[in-house]
Amino acid sequence: MSKHQLSIGTEQNEKDLQLDQLLAEYRTQKGALIPVLQKAQDIYGYLPENALQKIAQELKIPLSKIYGVVTFYAQFHLKPRGKYVIRVCQGTACHVRGGSAIVQEIQDLLQIKDGETTPDLKFTLESVACLGACGLAPVMMINDDTHGRLTKDAVAKILAQYE
Ligand code: FES
């Protein structure tokens, strides 16, 4: 096993331990499911299947019910997400000003589709409705940074700022 794999393994164990602690804390509480899912997602960055199985077991809630909750709320993610989440606005103002060309450019540059994550887990692309900065249309956010008045040509340079 390489050093890299070893460190990933250790990191994974630490996360599993954190989940155990979390479940120990919430096991007896009523209405714990949503906060536990939120905190578990903070630990892993998403909700891996084995974590959901453990949550089901410890909180004594059927796994199918947990999947129902996770798929209902947009805040929960069943797949790993990138270090940087790009949210490109497809609201009316942005759409009118060329928002779809921006999404297309990002898809071409990163070779992923809307909702997908690059294989190196660097970027996740999501198109969203109005980001509340219509005056800056077309707009995208990368994590907490807002980038407005975008042009197709500016996109590559902006992405390159994120390492
Ligand atoms: S429509 Fe894009 S920010 Fe409002």
What are the pLDDT digits (tens) for 86-130? 999 999 999 999 999 999 999 999 999 999 999 999 999 999 999
- Number of domains the chain is built from: 2
Residue 77 within a domain: no
Q: Is the CB of 93 under 6 A from ligand 1?
A: yes
Compute the radius of gyration of the chain from its Cα atoms: 19
Instruction: Give 66: exposed, middle or buried? Use CB within 10 Å, 0-12, 13-18, 19+.
Output: buried
Q: Tell me, what CATH number does 126's domain have?
A: 3.40.30.10
Residue 27 within a domain: yes
Q: Is the CB of 128 under 6 A from ligand 1?
A: no
93 plus 137 within the same structural domain: yes
User: Residue 155 in contact with residue 110, Cβ under 8 Å?
Assistant: no
- Is the confidence at residue 2, as pLDDT, over 60? no
- Name the residue of 134, 141, 147 whose CB sits within 8 Å of the most ligand 1 atoms, as the mutation to test its pocket: 134
Q: How far is the CA of 69 from the centre of ligand 1 (A)?
A: 29
65 plus 99 within the same structural domain: no
Average pLDDT over residues 132-143: 97
Q: Is the CB of 89 under 6 A from ligand 1?
A: yes
Q: What pLDDT does 101 receive?
A: 95
Q: How far is the CA of 135 from the centre of ligand 1 (A)?
A: 8
pTM of this prediction? 0.77
96 plus 68 within the same structural domain: no
CA atoms within 13 A of residue 104's CA, in its CB half-sphere: 8
Which one of 52, 72, 92 terminates a domain?
72
The whole domain housing 107 covers 84-160
Residue 148 within a domain: yes
27 plus 65 within the same structural domain: yes
Q: Is the CB of 131 under 6 A from ligand 1?
A: yes
**Average model confidence (pLDDT) across the chain:** 93
59 plus 92 within the same structural domain: no
Q: What are phi and psi of 90, to 5 degrees?
A: -120, 20
